[in-house]
Amino acid sequence: MTARIDDIVCPVPATPDQVLLAHGGGGRMMRRLIEELIVPALGDDPLLRPLHDGAVVTVEGTRLAFTTDSYVVRPLIFPGGDIAQLAVNGTVNDLAMCGARPLVLSIGLIVEEGLPMDLLRRLMESLGRAAAAAGVRIVTGDTKVVDRGKGDGLFINTAGVGVVVAPHPVEPAGVRPGDAVLLSGDIGRHGVAIMASRDGLAFETTIESDCAPLAEPVLRLLEAGVEVHCLRDLTRGGLGAALVEIAKTAGRRIEVEESAIPVRPDVQAACELLGLEPLYVANEGRFVAFVAPGEAERALSLLRSHPLGEQAARIGEVGGEGTDVVMTGPLGTARVIDLPSGEQLPRIC
Amino acid sequence: MTARIDDIVCPVPATPDQVLLAHGGGGRMMRRLIEELIVPALGDDPLLRPLHDGAVVTVEGTRLAFTTDSYVVRPLIFPGGDIAQLAVNGTVNDLAMCGARPLVLSIGLIVEEGLPMDLLRRLMESLGRAAAAAGVRIVTGDTKVVDRGKGDGLFINTAGVGVVVAPHPVEPAGVRPGDAVLLSGDIGRHGVAIMASRDGLAFETTIESDCAPLAEPVLRLLEAGVEVHCLRDLTRGGLGAALVEIAKTAGRRIEVEESAIPVRPDVQAACELLGLEPLYVANEGRFVAFVAPGEAERALSLLRSHPLGEQAARIGEVGGEGTDVVMTGPLGTARVIDLPSGEQLPRIC
């Protein structure tokens, strides 16, 4: 691999001998850890290789989507949500991003000794409500307790199974030249909400996480027969990382217009104060959809007909061969977007 | 609820205001936490209520088994296995206990900052080997990193999906009067192996964990058409807790012969030294099968034809209505077996 400028200026060695916090951040270090160590060690299953939000497995003729995520967000409760709601919506959204209708979830709790029982009850109730709101059933679970000082209150793993409704594979490799890139709404709220609550910052308005289940707006597209080539929710690493990952996997250049990307003024102001770039800030209720060029207007109308897609916008399109994501600014200057090296915010989800 | 003697002598309040280590031990405190707090808070889904090793869900006509477990064992590598092998076999075994053929696994890693990269690689390779040995594919995953001091090296969650091959539900409620209780082999090795390695104890022989994938011996029974009513692997809480859970859920009395339960002499000696009761010590490669009375001999022959069932034994039978597990000792005296209050060994799996 040729050295790149950001490898040279990066203060962290390319292959450190210990796992660093930055390896969990959704950036380049994480991609390397997964691609160069974890996937090869696990045996390089072709289903694991696409590094998509989930896997599609055919069982007795039925195409199932299957996915998992662990949630380690700090604090456990934040403006607009909590770890339990995040654990449900995150996995529901990963299933939706595979073009599937989410059906059932499992839940694995790792509780640190000393967690107040009332807090556990409150979070479990939130989990139940979030599942009901997303239309999924929690059907199996597991509880482990670790010694004080060996956990951090509560970690939650959820895995989920859904039925694929998209007729063709919905995945980065499905992206084609000319595809329209649609964004479902404004970006940056989840990360800013977490960061502000962690640092005890108060802005003029409380910025709440956008945490929400995305299956309904996605199914609205799929059930209307829109030709959707790829979907991706904008969690760790934000819109920037999602576009870079898709461009690299698809082997296609992606061109986006900065001015088309909605960012709320209060989120923009908070990002400036916190030294964050909204493009890389995590969201928990936003996604991009790559659709066939002739379908863009119909897809936008369908998205805008759902409360979670009211601000949906066409932000760009797919170009020819390549792996660059090029963003054109309001003054017409273009810059290449890359993965952040580590992460802007640790333990955001 | 009427007070019971062991509630009165138990030093821990019945409903403490914090989660305690003992809540994770597979005993009575854990059952209460799950039954009285977690399941009701989650919304009491009828599929969650049986508290079985996994759930069976019908998707487009196909009966799928779905299960999850998190692994927090300490140390990460122990005689006869490691956390990765445990994470694969534990979930494979839970699927088998639903009467299913395991197909695919997900893997969720929660890594503590500072974990040596070489150790992570070694464990991921072990995970890949264990999956290949068990005949399952790892198809999707997630990696999170938590700050130093907020985890304990590595926690692994696995969830799994399989196809149910048993024609009738295999679950505690399926147990019937007269059923033979079969045990697949000797008990107590996993817990003793962990405890000895943790305390740095050296016995004359190294006792190794029995950690193994149980799908093959289980499928041997099911594919031969043996009428299997219930299966349960003997993890946290051991054989004792498994029988008590099944008796309570089935509303049936279970009678077992102590002398029929195989325990290796070195394991028995180590248990005496460590103050453990083999009946409650965790296993990771042993299960009980409840089969129709006329099927017991055929089932035993089938089990004994597999290396993991060579020592399979008929240890008792199901009686009439009730919830007691009664064990008759070598001298003919009978005692009622109950769940341990908390746990004998924290973080055994």
The confidence score (pLDDT) of residue B44 equals 80
Interface of B with A in 134-153 (CB under 8 A): 137-147, 149-152
Alpha helix segments (H runs only) across B224-308? 238-250, 265-274, 296-304
User: How many beta-carbon pairs below 8 A join chains A and B?
Assistant: 283
User: Which residues of chain B lie closer than 8 angstroms to A72, CB-CB?
Assistant: 110, 144, 146
Q: How far apart are CA A99 and CA A284, in angstroms?
A: 17
Longest dimension (CA), chain B: 57
Give the orientation angle of helix A215-223 with respect to helix A296-304, to 10 degrees.
140
The confidence score (pLDDT) of residue B25 equals 82
- For residue B219, what is the enclosing H or E element? helix B215-223
Q: How far apart are CA A158 and CA A71, in angstroms?
A: 8
Closest CA to B240 of B193, B282, B200: B282
The confidence score (pLDDT) of residue B194 equals 93
Mind telling me how many Å the CA of A305 is from chain B's nearest CA?
30
Picking from A36, A62, A70 by the largest number of B CB atoms within 10 A of its own CB, the best residue to mutate is: A70
When mean pLDDT is compared across A9-23, A134-148, A152-166, the lowest value belongs to A9-23
A292-341: pLDDT as tens digits: 999 999 999 999 999 999 999 999 999 999 999 999 998 999 999 998 77
User: Which residues of chain A lie closer than 8 angstroms to B147, CB-CB?
Assistant: 21, 152, 346-347
Q: Flag residues of chain B having pLDDT under 70.
A: 1-15, 49-51, 204, 342-344
Do B55-164 and B172-337 come out as alike in CATH topology? no
Q: How far apart are CA A93 and CA A101, in angstroms?
A: 10
A72-125: pLDDT as tens digits: 999 999 999 999 999 999 999 999 999 999 999 999 999 999 999 999 999 999
A335 burial via Cβ count (<10 Å: 0-12, 13-18, 19+): exposed
Across the interface, do A140 and B47 touch by the CB < 8 Å criterion?
A: yes
Distances (CA, A) of B19 to A187, A230, B29, B152: 37, 43, 10, 18
Q: What is the pTM of this model?
A: 0.93
DSSP structure string for A248-286 = HHHTEEEEEEGGGS---HHHHHHHHHHT--GGGS--SS-
Domain B55-164: give its CATH code: 3.30.1330.10
Q: Which amino acid is at B63?
A: R
Mind telling me how many Å the CA of A210 is from chain B's nearest CA?
21
Number of Cβ within a 10 Å radius of residue B8: 7
Residue spans of the domains in chain A: they are 10-42, 55-164, 172-337
The confidence score (pLDDT) of residue A345 equals 73
The confidence score (pLDDT) of residue A205 equals 73
The CATH number of domain A172-337 is 3.40.50.300: no
ipTM over 0.95: no
Which structure tokens are listed for B155? 């926690």
Are A28 and A7 within 8 A, CB to CB? no
A29-79: pLDDT as tens digits: 888 999 999 999 998 888 886 667 899 999 999 999 999 999 999 999 999
Closest CA to B174 of B119, B243, B228: B228
The confidence score (pLDDT) of residue A2 equals 34
A6, pLDDT greater than 70: no
The confidence score (pLDDT) of residue B51 equals 65
Any idea which residue has 């760790």 for tokens?
Answer: A236
Which structure tokens are listed for B86? 């445990």
A229-265: pLDDT as tens digits: 999 999 999 999 999 999 999 999 999 999 999 999 9
